[in-house]
Amino acid sequence: MDWKSIAQERQDHRSKTIAAVEPPVPEIPKDLPSNVTGIPRKLLPEDVITITETGPEILLQQLASQKLTCTAVTKAFLQRAGLASRLTNCVTELLPDRALSRAKYLDDYLHEHGKPIGPLHGLPISVKEHIGMKGLDQNGGFISWVGRVAPDDAIILKLLWNAGAVFYARTTEPQTLMHLETSNNIYGVTVNPYNSKLTSGGSSGGEGALLGMKGSCGSIRVPAANNGVFGLRPTSYRLPLHGIVATMVGEELIIPVVGPLGQSLEGIKLFMKSIIDQQPWLYDPSLAPFPWKDASKATLLRQGPDGRRKLHIGLMPDDGIVKPHPPILRGIQTLVDRIKDHPDIEIIDFPPYKHDEGWRIISTLYFADGAVEEYEAIDSSGEPWRPLSNWIIKENPNVKTYTLDQSWKLTLEREGYKAAYASHWNSVGTGSSGGPGSPDAGQVQDKMVDVILCPAGAGAAPPLDCTRYWSYTSQWNLLDYPAVVFPTGLACSSEDQAEKDYPPRNEQDAYNHKLYDPATYADAPISLQLVGRRYEDEKVIEALEMILDVAGLPKISTDSKI
């Protein structure tokens, strides 16, 4: 069977799963606007709209109190997810039979025992396709992998199941799983719900688009920035990866992570806490045995030697290599203007430290085997290489086959860069690294930057096949720092005019500058990123909560503007 026939079979299967949803998923109009986020309100019943647009933390309260049944909530999200897929191409399959059987069990359990089965009782959670679900296809975005069936559920799904989750939808991913967009030859291109000319992001663009369409209240992995929702890139070894398929599984040069994406910041916390409270390191011994610490504002604003300590926010609006587009800079400035005069906040300019060197290192480490597995997975079926697969592998001069001793040297280079960046972070606002044994170490540490506020990308969601600058996110992957992406409530508009006669800094900067046009980016959400130090995941979330409170921004994704 040729690759096109295989792809058609998977698409037909998806169509059957959407058609099996009851009440039926509405048919979509022939002539659609580029921004389809308003379509569900026109086609879905009011009760479905109400349920699917309720924050997960509130939904859980309503489920626990039996104000809503798990069955009703599951049916609502199945219907909205099916519609979201018809509008953005974000789903690989729906799971109505599995999901409704699970929902009925949870409803019966609550009725019999008078209490929820766990902290996520009845919460619908969508799952990226390469995360194993027992008995279901796990193709990783490759035609040649279609037909590979997961023998068991991934550990992270088992933990979510124990907490009471309902799995009802599986979502799209890119060929190679190494695009900041989502396109493969099985399902095609997943588009941005706010502007169909733009990408939904990647490698979890299916999740992003589904969340952006309010077709899911929680999911596994990001991107969040392109779709106006919240997302956490946790520190490595906090959440289990066992049961997730990809090429190069087992390589340790750049440790992959899995993390949550959701409609609210509280939902992100619930996701993390529900898993980590189950001590996942007992089942995956590679994980760090750190409990989830329910932090409070008091831990950020502790008493220091000079009185009440402020939250120190390092401001890095530009990485010095590629200048962000006007909407992103406007988003940063708008937020800073809202928080800079607060007595508990201090804004400190945070200069970037050799981010070009960071990209050289990480782009070398991504495919240290010369991308042998990617070549085999793509070429064995005869499917074509997607444009961004070509770019990150065939057009990447750093993709080479390295010997074992060369890999060791690259690892030392990576660790040296991490140490240099840590020293740089320590010195910002303090004038000293405050190293071990330093007589002023305590005072220096008290003055250090707590978190970095920066762009989540060089622009809002780029046009399709154009996301070729990764460093606003890959930088933190290299350093293994936790980062939370959050919506500002702002969107790109005609007021964001491109800078005329702009002198590009380099080839990458020139490429990014040429991408921008206000009309092309119309309605794309403006999101930002808050970054913390390794294993300070809770602190980053706590700091973002405080920033959103001071700025008067909602902690749930909405269409409101600041």
The catalytic residues are 128, 203, 219
Do the Cβ atoms of 463 and 445 come closer than 8 Å?
no
Which residues make Cβ contacts (< 8 Å) with residue 199, sequence separation at least 6? Answer: 180, 181, 182, 190, 191, 192, 205, 226, 461, 462, 463, 464, 466, 467
Do the Cβ atoms of 208 and 229 come closer than 8 Å?
yes
3-state DSSP assignment of residue 390? helix
SS3 content of the chain, % helix, strand, coil (to 5): 40, 15, 45
Distance of alpha carbon 230 from alpha carbon 397, whole angstroms:
34
The rounded Cα 419 to chain-centroid distance in angstroms is: 26
For residue 264, the 8-state DSSP code is: B
Pairing of strands 191-192, 195-199: antiparallel
Give exposure, 259-296, as e/b (b: 16+ Cβ within 10 Å): bbbbbbbbbbbbbbbbbbebebbeebeebeeeeeeebe
With residue 220 as reference, give the H or E element that holds it: strand 218-220
Nearest alpha carbon to residue 337 among 347, 327, 328:
347
Distance of alpha carbon 160 from alpha carbon 102, whole angstroms:
13
Pairing of strands 124-128, 166-171: parallel
Nearest alpha carbon to residue 166 among 86, 90, 104, 240:
104
Retrieve residue 90's tokens.
């974000």
3-state DSSP assignment of residue 463? strand
The phi and psi torsions of 47 (rounded to 5 degrees) equal -65, -35
Distance of alpha carbon 536 from alpha carbon 532, whole angstroms:
6
